[in-house]
Chain A
Amino acid sequence: MGRIVEYYRADSIEDAVATARRLGSSAAYVGGGVELVLRRNPEVSTLIDLSQCGLGEILEVEDGIEVGSQVTLAAISRSAVLKCYAGGSLALWSGRIAQNNLRNMITVGGSIGRNQPWNDLVPHLIALGAEVRFFDGAEHRTPLVSYIDAKRTGTVIEGIVLPSGNANAKGFMWRFTATQQDISLLHCSALIDVAGDVVRKASIVFAGRPGHAALYPQLGQELMEGGGSQDAFESLARSAMQAVEVGTDHRATAEYRRDLVRAAIISLGDWMTGDTQ
Chain B
Amino acid sequence: MDIEAINLTKRFGNRVALDNVSFRFSGPGAIGYLGPNGAGKTTTLKIFSHLLRPTYGKALINGIDVADGYAKALESVSALVETPEPYPKLSIKDFLTLIGGMRGLSREETTSRIAELKEKLSLEDLAVQGAKLSKGHKQRVALAATLMSDTDIMLLDEPTAGLDPAETYDVKKIIKELKRTRLVLMSSHLLDEVTELCDSVAFINKGRLLLTDTVKNVTNKFGKGKAGSAGLEDAYLKIIKGG
Same complex for A and B? Answer: no
